[in-house]
């Protein structure tokens, strides 16, 4: 680094972070480190068809029943749904259902999930080691030069791309169109999943490995309803859930979402105590 090249400290001093960004960062730390936040995930038990089975470390017996998880338990098992002990058979709706069911066992939170039609039970434990060793999220200083106005180019037909997940399996990722922006007259594209006025992106860049986790995620949004103007603010790039627990199955970036650009903004890594 030359004497004239700005350091992270001088860049931060020259471009102080907006209060809204500081608040966002504080909420992120609080969210992932909460009693049942991402750091608390200690297991994901995938369920197969067939007879009900015991799951490691959990009371009761668990099975697949159509599009729901079947739990068989007795009051002594202390498995609570809406503060009421499960007594007999209870059908549990997974996280993507309109009426998801959550089960509590002591301080642990048990969440049925469904991914590509396969059901599982996730276990969040406030005593997880990752929570105990969490020392915050490392971030780049706020960088106003990495905030872009983008346009959205929808695909004629949205498609599902098979992408590798953090657990080594390929799964489908629904993509609806590209967010297109320019930096220094160079055009960049990011394939996105659209939900209303929100666009979700998983991307990689030149900082991955030496400076940041292997990939990151970003939510962009239309500035004003009906305007079509979208802000891509890389200062809000965040770590995927699998950066906080090995039991998440995060999809890696789809083909084309590895940017030939060093995105020196947003979250870098999970910091841990020595």
In this structure, what are the phi and psi dihedrals at residue 48, rounded to the nearest 5 degrees?
-105, 170
Q: What does the alpha-carbon distance between residue 121 and residue 43 come to, in Å, rounded to a whole number?
A: 8
Average pLDDT over residues 175-182: 96
The structure's pTM equals 0.89
Q: What does the alpha-carbon distance between residue 271 and residue 274 come to, in Å, rounded to a whole number?
A: 9
Q: What does the alpha-carbon distance between residue 134 and residue 35 come to, in Å, rounded to a whole number?
A: 12
- The region of weakest confidence among 8-17, 33-42, 46-55, 67-76 is 8-17
Instruction: Select the more confidently predicted residue: 222 or 23.
Output: 23
Judge contact between 241 and 248, C-beta under 8 A: yes
In terms of phi and psi (left: phi > 0; alpha: psi -120 to 50; beta: otherwise), the region of 50 is: left
Residue-wise pLDDT for 225-246, tens only, equals 766 789 999 999 999 999 999 9
pLDDT at 226: 67
Average pLDDT over residues 196-202: 94
Q: What whole-number percentage of the chain has pLDDT above 70?
A: 93
Q: Which residues contact 84 (CB under 8 A, 6 or more apart)?
A: none
pLDDT at 14: 55
Average pLDDT over residues 24-33: 97
DSSP 8-state secondary structure symbol assigned to residue 77: G
DSSP 8-state secondary structure symbol assigned to residue 49: S
Residue 175 structure tokens: 């993509």
Q: What does the alpha-carbon distance between residue 64 and residue 70 come to, in Å, rounded to a whole number?
A: 6
- The region of weakest confidence among 119-123, 169-173, 237-241 is 169-173
pLDDT at 136: 96
Residue-wise pLDDT for 186-195, tens only, equals 999 999 999 9
Length of the chain: 274
Residue 126 structure tokens: 């406030």
Q: Hey, CA dihedral for 239, 243, 247, 253, is it positive or negative?
A: positive
Exposed / middle / buried, residue 56 (Cβ in 10 Å: 0-12, 13-18, 19+): exposed
């Amino acid at each position: 680094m030359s004497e004239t090249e700005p350091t992270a400290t001088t860049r931060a001093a020259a471009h102080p972070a907006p209060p809204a960004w500081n608040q966002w960062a504080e909420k992120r730390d609080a969210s992932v480190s909460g009693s049942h936040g991402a750091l608390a995930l200690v297991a994901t038990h995938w369920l197969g068809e067939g007879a009900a089975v015991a799951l490691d470390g959990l009371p009761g017996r668990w099975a697949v029943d159509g599009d729901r998880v079947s739990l068989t338990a007795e009051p002594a098992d202390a498995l609570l749904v809406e503060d009421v002990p499960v007594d007999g058979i209870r059908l549990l709706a997974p996280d993507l259902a309109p009426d998801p069911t959550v089960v509590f066992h002591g301080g642990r939170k048990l969440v049925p999930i469904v991914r590509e039609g396969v059901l599982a039970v996730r276990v969040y434990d406030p005593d997880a080691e990752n929570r105990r060793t969490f020392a915050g999220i490392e971030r780049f200083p706020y960088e106003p030069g990495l905030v872009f106005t983008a346009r959205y180019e929808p695909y004629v037909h949205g498609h599902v791309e098979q992408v590798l997940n953090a657990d080594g399996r390929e799964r489908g990722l629904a993509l609806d169109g590209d967010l297109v922006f320019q930096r220094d007259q160079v055009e960049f594209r990011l394939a996105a999943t659209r939900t209303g006025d929100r666009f979700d992106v998983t991307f990689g860049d030149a900082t991955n490995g030496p400076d940041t986790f292997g990939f990151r995620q970003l939510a962009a949004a239309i500035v004003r309803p009906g305007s079509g103007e979208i802000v891509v603010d890389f200062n809000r790039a965040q770590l995927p859930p699998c950066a906080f627990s090995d039991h998440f199955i995060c999809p890696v970036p789809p083909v084309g979402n590895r940017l030939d650009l060093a995105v020196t903004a947003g979250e870098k890594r999970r910091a841990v105590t020595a």
